[in-house]
Structure 1
Amino acid sequence: MWNLSAPWWEFVLRGLIVYGAVLALLRVSGKRQIGQLTPFDLVLLLVISNAVQNAMNAGDNSVTAGLILAVTLVVANGVLGYVTWRSRKLEIFVEGRPQLLVHDGKVYQDIMRREHISFDDLNKALRHAGCNSVTDVHFAILETDGTVSVKMHERPPPTAPGTSIWKENNKDEAV
């Protein structure tokens, strides 16, 4: 139960290698898969975790090996979080950059294709932001976590019939 079948440092090394490889695979798969987990994506992550288990533990099912791997993965994740917080270049390398999907009503289809965002996904994000049409959008950005931020065009406040905007805004100045 407590005896290791390999030296402790081998578990640490295996854990770091698998952590880096899975991180790279998820990064390459695109932002949508990370930010908007579908049932298929969840199954994929569960199967990946099962597939890499033996690569990390070398067939050792001892409690000690499991604890070493758990600590290794948590520490690796913490270190990666810290260094990406400290280094903007490394953060961009690991997490990517936000991508502009829509600007002033113009949809950038090449970016949507590259990031695997369908028009249905974009329209869903726009509806959640309260947009009726893509022409209402000042910009829509695919964030690094896979969410879409939407800023609509500013609309002037409604005025009563027969009044001008200048009068309403400057009524204190009028004598």
Structure 2
Amino acid sequence: MIKKKRWLTFFLAWIPGLGHMYLGFKKLGLEYMIGAILCIIFIPSMPSIFPFALAALWFYQLFDALQKAAWMKLSVEEHERMMFHPDAYSAPWSMGVPPMPSYPQEEVSPVWVGIGCVIAGFLLMVINVFPWLWRILVDMNIGTILLALALIGYGFRLLRKNTKV
């Protein structure tokens, strides 16, 4: 495993996805880049939602890249310690050998991606095909209402997932 510099990861992560690509997470980096580009493209159609989404995506990918860089550093140090100091343990197959740190993989469910695509497609259709309906929704501050509902739903999801209070 090649050592990656955390400071370089930090500066590269200022461009969404580039820090992940530097660390070797090419698919994830490309997903962040595409997400940022889509947010930038959709800003004119919904200026009250997509700048917030772009900022949230940017901060999340920045801190995620730094977390992955820290994990990689710990993993390399543990690997070197086990390679160059084998006398700390009696045998590599003994019960005293701690396992290598593994990075938790949180995969996005295709169901959520599908739901997001359906919602984005529906919004684009309403904006372009039914502009009068879109004006009514904008007058009702539908963006703020949808954002509030999304935050409330996410909060309930977190509370249901973590029952230890």
For Structure 1 versus Structure 2, the TM-score category normalised by the shorter chain is under 0.3
- Give 1 or 2: higher strand fraction: 1
| TM-score scaled by length of structure 1 | 0.21
Q: Larger Rg: 1 or 2?
A: 1
| Structure with the higher helix share, 1 or 2 | 2
